[in-house]
Amino acid sequence: MAPRNMDSLLPQLLTFPPHPPPPVPLVDVAYDKEIKSLRKVLNDTPASLLTAGVPNGGDLLDVLDPSINTLPFLYVLLAHSNAGKQKATTIGSPLWQKALEFLHRFDSVQIRYVGTEFRRLIMFVQDVALAGKQPIAAVRPIGTAILRLDSSGSCYTSTHLVFVQLCLEARSFRAAKAILDKDIYELPSSAKMVPDLLCSRHDTSSGFITDKSELSDAISYRDPLHYFLYGAMIYLALKEWRRAILFLEVVLTAPSKTQASQIQVEAYKKWVLANLLAYGEVPSSLPKTTSSQVAKHSRTLGKAYEALGIVFQDGISKEHDVRRLNAEVHIGHQRWSSDHNLSLVLQVLDAYRQFTIAKLESTYVALPLSEVGRRTSPNPDDHAETAQYIAMMIENGQLNARIEQRSSNDPQSWVLRFVAPSDSGPQTRTEQHQHEELKRQVARTAKLAEHIRETDRKISLNKDYISWLKQKADMTTTANAGEDPAIALEQIPFEDEDLLAGT
**For range 160-169, the mean pLDDT:** 98
Of 202, 155, 158, 205, nearest to 183 by C-alpha is 155
Given a cut of 90, whether residue 479 has pLDDT beyond it is: no
107 and 200 part of one domain: yes
Same domain, 348 and 402: no
Question: d(Cα 313, Cα 125) in Å, to the nearest integer?
Answer: 47
Position 322 in a domain:
yes
Instruction: Please state whether beta strands 401-404 and 366-368 pair in parallel, antiparallel, or not at all (unpaired).
Output: unpaired
pLDDT bin (cut points 50, 70, 90) of residue 103 is: very high
Residue 481 pLDDT exceeds 80: no
d(CA 466, CA 475): 14
- In angstroms, rounded to a whole number, what is the distance separating the alpha carbons of residues 337 and 341? 6
Q: Give residue 428's pLDDT.
A: 53
Where a domain ends, among 430, 455, 477?
430
For the stretch 326-347, pLDDT in tens is 999 999 999 999 999 999 999 9
> pLDDT (tens digit, 9 = 90+) per residue, 202-232?
888 988 999 889 999 999 999 999 999 999 9
Per-residue confidence (pLDDT) for residue 494, from 0 to 100: 37
Q: Same structural domain for residues 107 and 138?
A: yes
CB 140 within 8 Å of CB 199? no
Distances (CA, A) of 158 to 86, 111, 129, 178: 22, 16, 18, 17
For residues 148-174, b (16+ Cβ closer than 10 Å) or e, as one string?
ebbeebbbbbbbbbbbbebbbebebbe
Rounded Cα distance between 187 and 210, Å, is 9
Task: Give the model's confidence band at 472: pLDDT under 50 very low, under 70 low, under 90 confident, else very high.
Answer: low
Q: Looking at this protein, which amino acid is placed at residue 360? A: L
From CA 74, how far away is CA 64, in angstroms rounded?
10
What pLDDT sits at residue 351? 93
On whether both 250 and 302 belong to a single domain, the answer is yes
The count of structural domains within the chain is: 3
Asked if 155 contacts 117 with a C-beta cutoff of 8 angstroms, the reply is no
133 sits in the region (left: phi over 0; alpha: psi -120 to 50; else beta) called left
In a domain, 165, yes or no: yes
- Same structural domain for residues 113 and 262? no
Choose among 100, 56, 107, 98: nearest CA to 79: 98
Cα 138 from Cα 156, distance rounded (Å): 19
The string of pLDDT tens digits covering residues 242-293 is: 999 999 999 999 988 788 899 999 999 999 999 999 999 999 899 999 999 9
Question: 3-state DSSP helix/strand/coil percent for the chain, to nearest 5?
Answer: 60, 5, 35
Q: Are residues 130 and 254 in the same domain?
A: no
Q: Where do the DSSP E strands lie in 345-502?
A: 366-368, 401-404, 415-418
473 falls within a domain: no
pLDDT bin (cut points 50, 70, 90) of residue 478 is low
The CATH number linked to 388 is 1.10.10
pTM of the model: 0.83
Confidence of residue 56 (pLDDT cuts 50, 70, 90): confident
Q: With cut-offs at 50, 70 and 90, classify the pLDDT of residue 503.
A: very low
Assess whether 147 and 179 both reside in one domain.
yes
Asked if residue 199 is part of any domain, the answer here is yes
CA-CA distance, 91 to 125, in Å (whole number)?
9
392 shares its domain with 354: no
Range of the domain at 56: 6-219
- State whether 387 and 356 are in the same domain: no
Among 361, 380, 399, the domain-final residue is 361
Q: What is the mean pLDDT of the chain?
A: 86
More confident residue, 87 or 498: 87
**CA–CA separation, 33 and 16 (whole Å):** 11
Which residues, 6+ apart, have CB-to-CB distance to 36 below 8 Å? Answer: 113
Residue type, 304: A
**Same structural domain, 64 and 144:** yes
Beta partners for 417?
A: 366, 402
DSSP letters, 67-135, are: TTSHHHHHHHHHHHIIIIITTT--TTSHHHHHHHHHHHH--TTGGGG-HHHHHHHHHHHHHHHHHTT-T
Residues 331 and 382 in one domain: no
Q: Any idea which of 91-105, 424-438, 442-456 has the lowest mean pLDDT? A: 424-438
The residue out of 317, 341, 361 marking a domain boundary is 361
Please indicate, yes or no, if residue 76 is contained in any of the structural domains: yes
Mean predicted confidence (pLDDT) in 364-389:
87
**Domain check: are 325 and 271 in the same one?**
yes
Count the neighbouring beta carbons within 10 Å of the beta carbon of residue 228. Answer: 25
CA-based radius of gyration for the chain? 29
